[in-house]
Amino acid sequence: MNYTTQMDAAKKGIITHEMKVVSEKENIDVEIIRGLIAEGKIVIPANKNHKNISAEGVGQGLRTKINVNLGISKDCQNFDLELEKVRTAIEMKAEAIMDLSNYGKTEGLRKKIIDISPAMIGTVPIYDALGFYDKELKDITVDEFFDVVEKHGKDGVDFITIHAGINKETIETLKRNKRLTNIVSRGGSLLFAWMELNKKENPFYEYFDRLLDICAKYDMTISLGDACRPGSLNDATDASQIKELITLGELTKRAWEKNVQIIIEGPGHMPLNEIKANMLLQKKLCYGAPFYVLGPLVTDVAPGYDHITSAIGGAIAATYGADFLCYVTPAEHLRLPNLEDMKEGIVATRIAAHAADIAKGIPNAIDWDNEMSAARADLDWEGMIGLSIDPEKAKRYREESKPHDAETCTMCGKMCSMRTMKKILNGEDLNIIRD
């Protein structure tokens, strides 16, 4: 039987190669995977032209996945550094990479990223439009917007962020309900500006079926962008955010009718106590479609440490329903991240994702922690380092402060509780003072 997309295959009862890969990675029966893809509750972003992809599933009952943002800007145009980031992100087990390059001719960089990456690749086509056509935003035509989307599909992009939910109604809601930080989504603000400057409807909303046809052709997943995501705690869960979310739910059902896979993007900045309710609201309004969140950042006052504020929110969000976490680095709000910023962001987000997987009972998630605990009880330092989420840092810390007694560390020395319990339970002599 022929099929156009993973969702089309799933509805027809076809088990694809990608479904089998995800089934093996997740240790979940492939028929369960297929059934949830048919319902739209799991997606496998895998463009037909991304030949070396190692498929990953995102959605209900699966491990929480993480995304790494990178790409050049006008002020930082080092293609080689961004490719080094790609390679490092893959080594650090990121499941997705988004090329958010927003200056100049970046087609070559995008193609190289796709060529070398087994991770799924995402983009925001509107960023590319300005550099691709070398035109001011106001002068870009509807056809040109869609031609860029088509180009990204041909190149092998697996998922694209499209801010289709910011329509004229959403903008009127935004104008009536003043915000502290207005629209903080870069793609959302560009579309808002285009609409205002041209006095026209959002082309991705008005011609949504045209977008669906392009995505179906390449099996390119749409990540429905939240243009009105809150950019401050003050703006969280407000009328603009919810108005857009309702529209995204309506667009989701339209996409499923054409067998196009959908991810919903979410906040943003949000107080801790509002996160659980937002996860429930999204799942209800968008019919269980996978939820992709940036953070959420749980305080606005920690520039330089926003990987931490994001990981706190991300762990809570994923516990209560988010399926996909976009990493945030210490450089958020301050500069384009460098390689070390990226590493810190990946580690923080992986910690959040894993903590949430344990909380929501993902099969075998806690096994990793149990292995670490066993190594600690046995004072197996090599084992502990090997099991660490960041073995390089764990090894460096261990070697920077070496203990007098090799089986301990410089925190407790021979007063180490693990050492004490191991010796006493094994019937050994306990020498704390003497050598």
Give me the long-range contacts of 409-418 (CB less than 8 A, separation at least 24).
416/379, 418/376, 418/377, 418/379
Residue 85 counted as domain residue: yes
269 is in an annotated binding site: yes
Q: Which residues contact 137 (CB under 8 A, 6 or more apart)?
A: 130, 190, 193, 194, 197
Could you give the CA distance from residue 300 to residue 38 in angstroms, rounded to a whole number? Answer: 39
Domain match, 263 and 408 both? no
Domain match, 273 and 409 both? no
| Among 359, 391, 421, residue at a domain's last position | 359
305 is in an annotated binding site: no
Give me the long-range contacts of 152-155 (CB less than 8 A, separation at least 24).
152/110, 152/123, 152/125, 152/128, 152/220, 153/47, 153/49, 153/214, 153/215, 153/217, 153/218, 153/220, 154/49, 154/218, 155/49, 155/107, 155/110, 155/111, 155/114
Determine the pLDDT at residue 434.
Answer: 79
Residue 417 counted as domain residue: yes
Taken in order 90, 91, 92, 93, is the CA torsion positive or negative? positive
Residue 16 counted as domain residue: no
Determine the pLDDT at residue 69.
Answer: 97
Domain match, 347 and 430 both? no
- Total domains in the fold of the chain: 2
Domain match, 161 and 270 both? yes
265 is in an annotated binding site: yes
One-letter amino acid at 279 equals: M
Structure tokens at 284: 């209800």
- Decide the pairing of beta strands 221-224 and 159-162: parallel
110 is in an annotated binding site: no
341 is in an annotated binding site: no
Largest CA distance in the chain: 83
Q: Tokens 């059934």, residue?
A: 35
Could you give the CA distance from residue 10 to residue 38 in angstroms, rounded to a whole number? Answer: 5
Nearest to 231 by CA among 172, 182, 167: 182
Domain match, 414 and 271 both? no
User: Which residues constitute the domain of residue 407?
Assistant: 401-435
Domain match, 239 and 336 both? yes
Q: Which residues contact 333 (CB under 8 A, 6 or more apart)?
A: 303, 306
Determine the pLDDT at residue 189.
Answer: 97
Domain match, 323 and 411 both? no
Determine the pLDDT at residue 170.
Answer: 97
Domain match, 244 and 330 both? yes
292 is in an annotated binding site: yes
Residue 303 counted as domain residue: yes
Residue 380 counted as domain residue: no
Domain match, 213 and 278 both? yes
Determine the pLDDT at residue 1.
Answer: 64
227 is in an annotated binding site: yes
Asked if residue 319 lies in contact with residue 354, where contact means CB atoms within 8 angstroms, the answer is no
Q: Which stretches within 320-416 are classed as H helix? A: 339-359, 367-377, 381-387, 391-400
Determine the pLDDT at residue 178.
Answer: 96
376 is in an annotated binding site: no
Determine the pLDDT at residue 435.
Answer: 73
218 is in an annotated binding site: no
Residue 13 counted as domain residue: no
Structure tokens at 67: 């995304």
326 is in an annotated binding site: no
State which H helix or E strand residue 143 sits in: helix 142-155
Q: Which residues pair with 122 in a beta bridge?
A: 98, 159
187 is in an annotated binding site: yes
Structure tokens at 317: 């969000």
215 is in an annotated binding site: no
Domain match, 275 and 168 both? yes
Structure tokens at 402: 């070496």
Residue 39 counted as domain residue: no
Please list, residue by residue across 102-130, b when 16 or more beta carbons sit within 10 angstroms of its beta carbon and e when fewer do: bbbebeebbeebbeebebbbbbbbbbbbb
333 is in an annotated binding site: yes
307 is in an annotated binding site: no
286 is in an annotated binding site: no
Domain match, 257 and 200 both? yes
Determine the pLDDT at residue 152.
Answer: 98
Burial status of residue 157 (CB atoms within 10 A of its CB: 0-12, 13-18, 19 or more): buried
Give me the long-range contacts of 189-198 (CB less than 8 A, separation at least 24).
189/227, 190/126, 190/127, 190/137, 191/126, 191/163, 191/166, 191/227, 192/166, 192/227, 193/137, 193/138, 194/137, 194/138, 194/140, 195/166, 195/168, 195/171, 196/171, 197/137, 197/138, 198/138
Q: Which residues pair with 262 in a beta bridge?
A: 222
Residue 374 counted as domain residue: no
One-letter amino acid at 410 equals: T
One-letter amino acid at 341 equals: D
Read off the CATH number of the domain in which 153 is found: 3.20.20.540
Q: Is 76 helix (H, G, I), strand (E, B) or coil?
A: coil
Could you give the CA distance from residue 339 to residue 83 in angstroms, rounded to a whole number? Answer: 10
> How confident is the prediction along the chain (435 residues), in pLDDT tens digits per residue?
699 999 999 999 999 999 999 999 999 999 999 999 999 999 999 999 999 999 999 999 999 999 999 999 999 999 999 999 999 999 999 999 999 999 888 999 999 999 999 999 999 999 999 889 989 999 999 999 999 999 999 999 999 999 999 999 999 999 999 999 999 999 999 999 999 999 999 999 999 999 999 999 999 999 999 999 999 999 999 999 999 999 999 999 999 999 999 999 999 999 999 999 999 999 999 999 999 999 999 999 999 999 999 999 999 999 999 999 999 999 999 999 999 999 999 999 999 999 999 999 999 999 999 999 999 999 999 999 999 999 999 999 999 999 988 999 999 999 999 999 999 999 999 988 877
186 is in an annotated binding site: yes
Domain match, 116 and 186 both? yes
Q: Beta-carbon neighbour count of residue 43 at 10 Å? A: 30
Nearest to 270 by CA among 308, 310, 239, 304: 310
